[in-house]
Amino acid sequence: MVSDIRLYTESEHLEQAQQFQAVLFSRGVHVELSTVEKLNARFFRLNPDLALCCDADGLWLCANGMKMQPDWKAEVGRLKRASLKSEMIARACNLGEKPSLIDATAGLGHDSLLMAHLGAHVTLVERHPILFTLLEDSHRRAQSDAFLANVVARIQLVFSDSADYLIQQAEQNHVVDVVYLDPMFPQRDQNQQAVKKQAQVKKQMQLLHMLLPEDGEMDLGDNLLELAQKIGKRVVVKRPRLAVFLADKQPNHQWQGDACRFDAYFQHDLVA
Ligand SMILES: C[S@@+](CC[C@H](N)C(=O)[O-])C[C@H]1O[C@@H](n2cnc3c(N)ncnc32)[C@H](O)[C@@H]1O
C-alpha cells in the first residue's frame, strides 16, 4: 500500500493542501507537499508519476497525465436516469425497501451513491487511507450540491478494514438489511485486451489499480463473505460476469448482466 506520496498544489490552495497533508498523516500516509506555478495539462504530462494534487475542485489522484477523483457530481446525470426498475443493483439489493446497507468495499463510492439515490441508507467502508481521504472530500463537496445533498445525507463514511468493522458489528449484535461486496478481481486483468478497452473508457479504474496492490498481493475479499453473512440479512456480491464465486460459495440467487453479475446470499434466520 502507498505510504509516501507527493501532493502538488498552487499557492492559492496551499492551506487546503496542508489540511489534506495533516489528515493523511493521521492515517499513516507521509505526504511531501510541493507548491507549483500552474497545475495544468502540461504539468501533468511532465510529471507522470503517481501523486496527489489539490486545486479549486479538491483532492485528486494523478498519474500518466491523468487526474482522477471519486467525482460524484459527474454522476448526477446517471443518477437522474436511474430507477428501481432499470437498475439490476436495485433488484439485487432490494432497494425499493429502503434498506440499511453496509458497502464493505467502497472504492470510488459510485455503486453506493446510486444505491443511496435509490433509497438505501449506506455505511461506506474503505480501508485505503488515500482512497478514503478522496471519498471524504467528495462526500463533503457533494453536501453543497443542490441535487446530491439529499443523497449523501444517506451516506456515512467509515475508515476501517471491513473485516474488523464487520466483526465489531457482529459482536454488538447489529443486523443490517444488506451487506454489499465488490472486492478487486484479478482475472479481469488477465484478459489484457478487455482491460485495455475498459481502461480507455474508465481511466478512473486505471488510476485506482495503480494505488491498490498488484495481482499477486491482491486481497480478493474471500474472508469478507462469512463475516458479512453474520450481520447481513442479504449479502450481495458484485462479480465480473464469468468470475468464480466469492469464497467458492454458491449463492442463493443471481442477477446476470452483460459485464457483471450480482450473487446474493440470504440469511433468513437473521432478525434485527
Ligand atoms: C473494486 S473496488 C470497489 C468499487 C466500488 N464498488 C465503486 O463503485 O467504486 C474495491 C475497493 O474495496 C476496498 N477494499 C477491499 N477489501 C477491503 C476491506 N477488507 N476493507 C475495506 N476496504 C476494502 C479496496 O481498497 C478498493 O477500494
Query: What is the domain partition of the chain in residue ranges?
Result: 4-68, 73-183+219-266
State the pairing for strand pair 176-181/232-240: parallel
Residue 127 CB less than 6 A away from ligand 1: yes
For the chain, how long is the longest CA-to-CA vector? 61
* Residue whose cell numbers read 443523497: 151
d(CA 12, ligand 1 centre) in Å: 33
What letter represents residue 143's amino acid?
Q
d(CA 14, ligand 1 centre) in Å: 30
Half-sphere exposure of 270 (CA within 13 A, CB side): 20
CA distance 52 to 117: 29
d(CA 105, ligand 1 centre) in Å: 3
Mean pLDDT confidence for 8-30: 97
- pLDDT per position as a tens digit, 220-261: 889 999 999 999 999 999 999 989 999 999 999 999 999 899
Nearest alpha carbon to residue 264 among 224, 229, 236: 236
- pLDDT per position as a tens digit, 134-158: 999 999 999 999 999 999 999 999 9
Residue whose CA lies nearest to ligand 1 atom number 13: 105
Mean pLDDT confidence for 102-114: 96
Residue 129 CB less than 6 A away from ligand 1: no
CA distance 37 to 63: 18
d(CA 92, ligand 1 centre) in Å: 19
CA distance 68 to 52: 9
Task: Using the predicted structure, report yes or no on whether residue 104 has a pLDDT greater than 90.
Answer: yes
State the pairing for strand pair 121-126/176-181: unpaired
Which atom, in ligand 1's list, is nearest to the CA of 113? 8
Residue 162 CB less than 6 A away from ligand 1: yes
Residue 70 CB less than 6 A away from ligand 1: no
CATH class of 73-183+219-266: alpha beta
For residue 270, the model assigns a pLDDT of 87
Which atom, in ligand 1's list, is nearest to the CA of 107? 27
